[in-house]
Amino acid sequence: MVKILIADDEKDIRDIVTWYLSREGFEVFAAADGHAAVDIETAHLPDLLILDVMMPGLSGWEIAKAVQRNVPIIF
């Protein structure tokens, strides 16, 4: 199963994207801030990252720099 991480500090956006992707059969992990996103990425190694650019803690750009592997990222 393809794993996707959605990181967004806006709960409504995070919830609707999670709902749609789950409905299509993806395993979805959600994070409300940058630090949680890095923790989830390290623990679950998702196949795709969907990142909000401006979030508390770490921005989407900072998360992208912190990821130590080649993974597709959508901002």
Whether 7 contacts 35, CB under 8 Å: no
How confident is the chain (75 residues) per 10-residue block, as mean pLDDT? 98 99 99 97 98 95 93 97
State pTM to two decimals: 0.94
Predicted local confidence at residue 20, as pLDDT: 99
Predicted local confidence at residue 26, as pLDDT: 99
- Fold for 3-54, please state it: Rossmann fold (3.40.50)
Strands in 48-51's sheet, in edge-to-edge order, are 27-31, 3-7, 48-51, 73-74
Structural domain boundaries of the chain? 3-54
Predicted local confidence at residue 68, as pLDDT: 86
